[in-house]
Amino acid sequence: MAIIQAPPLRTAPAPAGPAPAGERDAGIDLIRAMCVALVVLLHALMVGVTVDPAGPVFENAADGAAWFAPLTWALQVMPLFFVIGGFSGATAFRRFRARGGTRAEFVAGRVRRLLLPAVVSIAAVAVALAALAFSGVAPDLIEIAGFRYAQPLWFLGVYLLCQALLPALHAAHERAPGRTILALVAAAVSVDALRAVTGFEAIGFLNLAFVWLALQQLGFLLADGRIDALARRARVAAASGAVALLAALFLAGVYSPDLIANLNPPTAVLLLVGVAQTAVLSLLRHRIDRFSARRTAAAFTRFVTARTMTIYLWHMPLLLVMAGASVLVAMATGIVLPEPSSAAWWATRPIWLAVAVVLTAGVAAALAGIERHRTPPAAVSPRRTVQAVLLGLAAVVLLLAAGTTVVTAAIASGAILFALARTRPLPGGRSVVGGHAQSSDAR
């Protein structure tokens, strides 16, 4: 993490294509909001809950389902999300740097933005799991609930890592954009090759860094205007070629055609997905920009943009509550819950998805103040910022590796609170205001 303390950035020659705008890009924000909504819908569709003579059964409705793999080709939006994260992160960092902000201060702000809503969610889950235990719920069901809650948290850890490394990788991008992204792509492909040759699956988890960092780097190219500056036929060829190569790799059995399966651990095939999605995004930029200006689209974008992490962190607990409520109703009334993938199950999915969206939106609206509560940029030492990042990453790894229980959730909450404390402004430090950096005694 010493990259946060690297020397000041050098200004690179003007990139090809238009320079990024100084304000937020409404079209990009709309696509990011749509990605968040699609993730909620996909996870809601994966919830399977029934009741058999032995009691409640919670399962992944997508397991073994023939309909799921083709659906992931439309709903696997994580590569695009990280590309957009790179686009937004690069433009935000450039504005921050222009106002006199340092790398450490930028990363500290990102840590607060990600971890503040996270600690509220994790602490609430710790309380909920304790309440379930005291109420006599079977330990195996509590364990399943904790496991399901933790599954999406990989994104929090990886996105935190990407944001922490963004200033250094942006500097590398300014010096040598082609070599930087190619190095990350080569590393991702090499990890997959080593995993295949050795059969050691754990090697694949190195791509939690390489795959997503490469896609973030692709977002830097988009922010520069380099991708939009390409000829239309070149972008069409890139999208078509990426999809054709994807299909060939799937047919050859090199990778699973289930793009969600390629998330755990991430595989280099997601880079092809990201290339195709980015090329299509670039081709449709003008239409997306026009659509984003419509009142309904703009309102949707504003709502989600202000609550992105809250929505992501709370949608899974709400889905678990919905599943538990379904079981209680079924057991109290004798209603038979439909088997996943059955005709009756599909008939109830529109209602299920609508309830999931309404509940998630309601909770996000109620907790919006948490995500908006951000300390103004101010002096934070690189050492304290590194500590905050490491503490946040450790908290997420603990929940993923050891399982989410009352104890692990409490420990993770404490670690995140300490991480947030490390990002507080130093006494007498400078602040980044009015486009200028004031004097600082920060170490």
Give the pLDDT confidence of 50-102 residue by residue, as tens digits: 998 888 889 999 998 999 999 999 899 999 999 999 999 999 999 999 999 99
Distance CA 160, CA 80 (A): 17
Q: Which residue has the tokens 């003008």?
A: 286
Question: Would you place residue 425 in the very low, low, confident or very high pLDDT band (cuts 50, 70, 90)?
Answer: confident
Residue 297, token pair as written in the block: 């689209």
| Nearest Cα to Cα of residue 261 among 277, 244, 273 | 273
Q: What is the pLDDT of residues 92-145, one digit of tens each?
A: 999 999 999 999 999 999 999 999 999 999 999 999 999 999 999 999 999 999
Residue 98, token pair as written in the block: 């222009």
Q: Which residue has the tokens 């090759």?
A: 193
The pLDDT of residue 36 is 97
Count of other CB atoms within 10 angstroms of residue 327: 19
- N-terminal to C-terminal alpha carbon distance within the chain: 17
The DSSP H or E segment spanning 58 is strand 55-60
Q: State the Cα torsion 182-184-188-194 to the nearest 10°.
A: 90
Q: In this structure, is the dihedral angle defined by the CA atoms of residues 206, 212, 213 and 215, taken in order, positive or negative?
A: positive
Q: Which residue has the tokens 């090329």?
A: 279
The pLDDT of residue 370 is 79
Distance CA 30, CA 49 (A): 33
Q: What is the pLDDT of residues 318-374, one digit of tens each?
A: 999 999 999 999 999 989 999 999 999 999 999 999 999 999 999 999 998 777 766
Mean pLDDT, residues 370-387: 76
* pTM for this prediction: 0.89
The answer to whether the beta carbons of residues 359 and 322 sit under 8 Å apart is yes
